[in-house]
Amino acid sequence: MSDESPTAETKPLGATALLARGLTPGKLRGLQRICNANGTLSILAIDHPASMMHGTSYGEIVHSKLDLCRQIGPATSGVLIDAYYGAWPAIASGAIPRDRGLLVRLEMSEATTNQAGGLLSKIEPGWSAEKAKLMGADAVKLLAPYAPHEPESAEYQLVFVQQVYEECKKLDLLLMLEPITYPLAGESKTDRRFLARKADTVIESARQLSRYCDVFKVEFPGTLDVESDDQLADNLQALSESSERPWVLLSAGVEYPQYLEQLQMAVEVGCSGFVGGRAFWKEYFEQLDPAARTQFAATTARARVAEADALVRENASPWFDRYGLSLEDMAGVQVGEGWHARYARHARSAPGYNTGLGDVS
């Protein structure tokens, strides 16, 4: 007689295991497209406004963005780019590799300001989440500067974020949210008052806003060489516990060695990867001529991204960990017959399909 106790047979998950977590077909496909094979994220950001791209004309700025995309993009899992200068040219020219994710910026680069110095965001004129979906973007990114302790702007930004989130849900389009900190009226980014509240602002923003996105793009919660390593580790842990979605670390223009150190600390506590820009490529514009710029992007900048990518692939938490899932779980998901007729009921579809579950036309 066997001494082994009987065990329940493991049953494959139904599609509701994904749907109940908000992982609808479009959002799940978006995650698959912008991630590495193991579910981590290594994304190049070149969605910056003209003021950061050092160009004197539309054509010069487009050229720089496409050059960076061509030289560095193959070392990433995806590229974040803007609509005004980059998205369509990157597709038309093949600058973005066909097997890398495409994320497109939604917001206008300049926000308006209230009397307290609170920033109020808007969508890029002439652009929308729907247009991004139509052009084939795998995800959209929304920058929404957030000061939770400045009530007027915070309430405006919260409603703005919620509206964009609901629109992306309707479109079944992946949304990456970036709620950066900023100094209020009478402050600068180096003021002690601003720096003293920065970590708390980052963490509180995660508590309030991370539920309104699919990937949370966030600043490092503190300042290297100002706060102790123990304090920074505590801040990162609090951030990870506060985020309801997979979170990734932005670079905020710090020097590359600093960014790599920040990333090393972040992946130890649940960070899923990076969305980095100037830390990788800002010296590109210090080169003397176009050929030297291309050489810098193809060597130094790409090597930096490859180093960060290797760190993330080895140590970061896959996005699906945040949902209590694994690749094995999802590989066995079973979807009920007739799902396509029940999907996105608000969308137009051919009438009269009989699912056996009532009229869905």
- Would you write out the chain's pLDDT as a tens digit for each of its 361 residues? 445 554 556 688 999 999 999 999 999 999 999 999 999 999 999 999 887 778 779 999 999 999 999 999 999 999 999 999 999 999 999 999 999 999 999 999 888 999 999 999 999 999 999 999 999 999 999 999 999 999 999 999 999 999 999 999 999 999 999 999 999 988 888 888 888 999 999 999 999 999 999 999 999 999 998 899 999 999 999 999 999 999 999 999 999 999 999 999 999 999 999 999 999 999 999 999 999 999 999 999 999 999 999 999 999 999 999 999 999 999 999 999 999 999 998 988 777 555 555 554 4
Give me the DSSP letters along 304-326.
HHHHHHHHHHHHSPPGGGGGT--
pLDDT digits over 110-145, tens only? 889 999 999 999 999 999 999 999 999 999 999 999
* 3-state DSSP assignment of residue 66: helix
Residues facing 324 on adjacent strands: none
CB 223 within 8 A of CB 195: yes
- pTM of the entire structure? 0.92
CA Rg value for the chain: 22
Q: Which residue has the tokens 């949210």?
A: 177
CA distances for 270 relative to 264, 307, 357, angstroms: 11, 19, 41
**Nearest CA among 124, 94, 126, 86 for reference residue 277:** 86
The span from the CA of 107 to the CA of 84, in Å, is: 11
What are 116's strand-pairing partners?
Answer: none
User: How far is Cα of residue 154 from the mean position of the Cα atoms in its chain?
Assistant: 21
> How many CB atoms are located within 10 Å of the residue 158 CB?
17
Give the integer Cα–Cα distance in Å for 216 and 74.
23
Residue 3's pLDDT is 52
Give 313-323 pLDDT, tens digit per residue.
999 999 999 99
Positive or negative: CA dihedral 112, 118, 124, 128 = negative
Assign 340 to helix, strand or coil. Answer: helix
d(CA 34, CA 77): 6
Instruction: Name residue 119's beta-bridge partners.
Output: 113
User: What does the alpha-carbon distance between residue 330 and residue 104 come to, in Å, rounded to a whole number?
Assistant: 27
Amino acid 360: pLDDT: 47
Residue 151: CB partners within 8 Å, gap ≥ 6? none
142, 177 Cβ separation under 8 angstroms: yes
Compute the distance between CA of residue 231 and CA of residue 207 in angstroms, rounded to an integer: 19
Which amino acid belongs to residue 216?
A: F
Comparing CA positions, the residue from 82, 150, 148, 149 lying closest to residue 113 is: 150
Cα–Cα distances in Å, from 183 out to 193, 194, 196?
A: 9, 6, 11
**DSSP structural state of residue 24:** -
Superfamily of domain 24-342, CATH level 4 = Aldolase class I (3.20.20.70)
